Amino acid sequence: MSEFSLPGDKVATIEEFETGDNTFDDGHTIRSVVAGTKEFDKTRRIANINRFKSPAVPQVNDLVIGNVAALMNNMFAVNMLYINGKPTHSGLECICQARGAKKRIIARVSDVVMVKIISHLNGAIHATISEPELGVLFTQCNKCAGKVVQIGGNVKCVDCGYIEERKLSSKFGNGDFIKLGSQ
């Protein structure tokens, strides 16, 4: 029998075990109420299901690394890939305020950025990029998709020479950026 259970799956018989966390007894069989992993307390003869953790939602002050998914007037959306250095597959986005984005380029779509969560408001996850270590970790030339190098607060394409602004992270250029968000 699999160690995983879906709601309604048979977990054990009532002769073997009694119901514990997230289980019910249909008169013959102990079944799971939730999706999770089975855990049997053999001493007390109780069958439990440990509920799978719900999709990872970052908490305030968590560091998130992800791809810029969309740019708006004063904010941009980040498709979250890592929370505190741990991969997340939730497909959730956070919204990052980008004050002054009308005057300068903070990031481009598909840039890899590190942001910090500041609040959960109106059903959205809000983040900031306004700290030295926060910002763009990886980007490419907006003209030719070439490799870029940092020149002050700008990036310059090594292929075509195009220069463009970014809000760069102090960790920009560190290829091991996935580990940067670990705490």
Nearest approach in angstroms of CB 112 to Zn ion is: 18
* Helix/strand/coil for 172: coil
What is the C-alpha to C-alpha distance for residues 90 and 58, in angstroms, rounded to an integer? 11
CB of 69: closest distance to Zn ion in angstroms? 23
CB of 138 to Zn ion, least distance (A): 15
What's the number of CA atoms in the CB half-sphere (13 Å) around residue 56? 17
Distance CA 128, CA 42 (A): 49
For the chain, the helix, strand and coil percentages under 3-state DSSP, each to the nearest 5: 0, 45, 55
Query: Given the rule CB under 5 A, which residues bind Zn ion?
Result: 141, 143-144, 146, 157, 159-160, 162
Whichever of 60 and 158 has its CB closer to Zn ion, that residue is: 158
Contacts of 122 (CB under 8 A, 6+ apart): none
Nearest to 13 by CA among 33, 40, 34: 40
- Output 92 or 112, the one with its CB closest to Zn ion: 112
Residue with tokens 């497909």: 91
C-beta closer to Zn ion: residue 149 or 160: 160
Rank residues 17 and 172 by Cβ distance to Zn ion and give the closer one. 172
Min separation Cβ 173 and Zn ion, Å? 17
Instruction: Please tell me whether residue 177 adopts helix, strand or coil conformation.
Output: helix
Smallest gap, in angstroms, from Cβ of residue 162 to Zn ion?
5
> Residue 40 or 162: which CB sits closer to Zn ion?
162
Give min distance, CB of 168 to Zn ion, in A: 17
Single-letter code of the amino acid located at 82? Y
Residue (86 or 143) nearer to Zn ion, CB: 143
